[in-house]
Homo-oligomer: A and B are copies of this chain.
Amino acid sequence: MKKIGVLTSGGDSPGMNAAIRAVVRKSIYHDMEVYGIYNGYQGLIDGNIKKMEIGSVGDIIQRGGTILYTARSDEFRSEEGREKAIAQLNKFGIEGLIVIGGDGSFRGAEKLTQKGYPCIGVPGTIDNDIPGTDFTIGFDTALNTVIEAIDKIRDTATSHERTYVVEVMGRHAGDLALWAGLADGAESILIPEHADDFEDVIERLKRGKDRGKKHSIIVLAEGVGSGLDFGQRIKDATNLETRVTVLGHTQRGGSPTASDRVLASRLGAKAVDLLLEGKAGRVVGIQNNKLVDHDILEILDEEHKVDFKMYELSKQLSI
């Protein structure tokens, strides 16, 4: 393989730039040409493609966002759209593709692989909801963004009889809320995987109130519902003054943490190695602290699971 392409797709996450850098430099190290495809699959269809050099990825390892941008592409979901994409791959002589993104992005990678264009998926999302990897690129950064916000709330929380609800991202996964709640000693954590715990939260708040506890912080995963709604429900149920913070897209940006940069560098390089070895239709990941790769279809079939023991631990430590 002498020419490969790289694109980012879906919601962006901090560390994607570090992954792009690793793909580009590792490819050049192995004497391959590497092309950046801008705006995800739509850019592939549109031929928004440029050859990357060592300098193209200088000074980006520390930047949030993605220099290749991302975009949704309804067109790529059609057979016709994919034919256009393949025409562009042929035009540029691109033989293999590295796709950095989430499960939706991997579906596209699988389609192209079936057409004879080997693709490797690199898991980049703050949600940490990709099976086959213990961590996704961006999760650690988003997590630190969340806990820095909660730390600040905690500073001011100590002097007021108030309940603070912090709504965090994560789509259908509770990892971000769970880790943040554990890392910040939140009094309660509400995640989609245990959404029935709302009554338990109310009970804990009432018990706390009775024994004079002045303030509580509740971390709520967006997959459970809206922070503002929950704030109102809590107020109705307990009569406690409740304040809501919606961290929103602050969680998607920021300079990636060391851990995300290292993970992105390792996974990006691993993806290049797989293409060089002739592999196709794989997703790279880190499991048990080792670099691994799995069949894309396998990944898409599996379901990500939250660590129940950590959930239990968070309850034991927030007594």
**Contact, CB under 8 Å: A313 / B269:** yes
Residues B184 and A28 in contact, CB atoms below 8 Å apart: no
Contacting residue for A179 out of B63, B258, B313, CB 8 A: B258
Q: Given the complex of chains A and B, what is the CA–CA distance between A91 and B37 in angstroms?
A: 39
* Nearest CB in chain B to that of A72: its residue: B160
Interface centre among A151, A258, A262 (most CB of B within 10 A): A258
List A residues 133-155 near B (Cβ within 8 Å).
134, 140, 143-147, 149, 151-155
Map CB proximity to B onto A1-45 as digits: 1 under 8 Å, 0 otherwise.
000000000011010000001100110110000000001000000
Report the count of interface residues on A (CB-CB < 8 A): 78
**For A12, A164, A316, A317, which residue has the most chain B Cβ atoms within 10 angstroms?**
A317
Given contacts A228-B228, A262-B182, contact A319 B289 (CB under 8 A): no
Q: How near does chain B come to A271, taking the closest CB pair, in angstroms?
A: 13
Is B248 a contact of A245 with CB atoms below 8 Å? yes
CA distance A287 to B257 in the complex (A): 21
Query: Nearest Cβ distance between residue A77 and chain B, in whole angstroms?
Result: 18
Residue from B22, B39, B244 in contact with A248 in the complex, judged by beta carbons closer than 8 Å: B244
Contact residues in B for A154 (Cβ distance below 8 Å): 59, 62, 253
List chain B residues, Cβ under 8 A from A12.
Answer: 155-156, 159
Shortest CB distance A261–B (Å): 4
Tell which of B26, B158, B182, B253 touches A155, judged by Cβ atoms closer than 8 Å: B253
Contacts of A179 in B (CB 8 A): 258, 262
Q: List 6 tightest A-B contacts by C-beta distance, closest first.
A: A155-B253, A64-B155, A288-B288, A152-B253, A245-B248, A156-B252
Using a CB–CB cutoff of 8 Å, the interface residues on chain A facing chain B are: 11-12, 14, 21-22, 25-26, 28-29, 39, 54, 59, 61-66, 69-71, 134, 140, 143-147, 149, 151-160, 164, 179-180, 182-185, 228, 243-255, 257-259, 261-262, 265-266, 269, 287-290, 310, 313, 316-319
12 other contacts beyond A26-B317, A151-B253, A228-B228, with CB at 8 A cut-off?
Answer: A39-B159, A59-B154, A59-B158, A62-B154, A69-B159, A149-B250, A151-B255, A183-B259, A244-B248, A245-B250, A269-B316, A288-B290
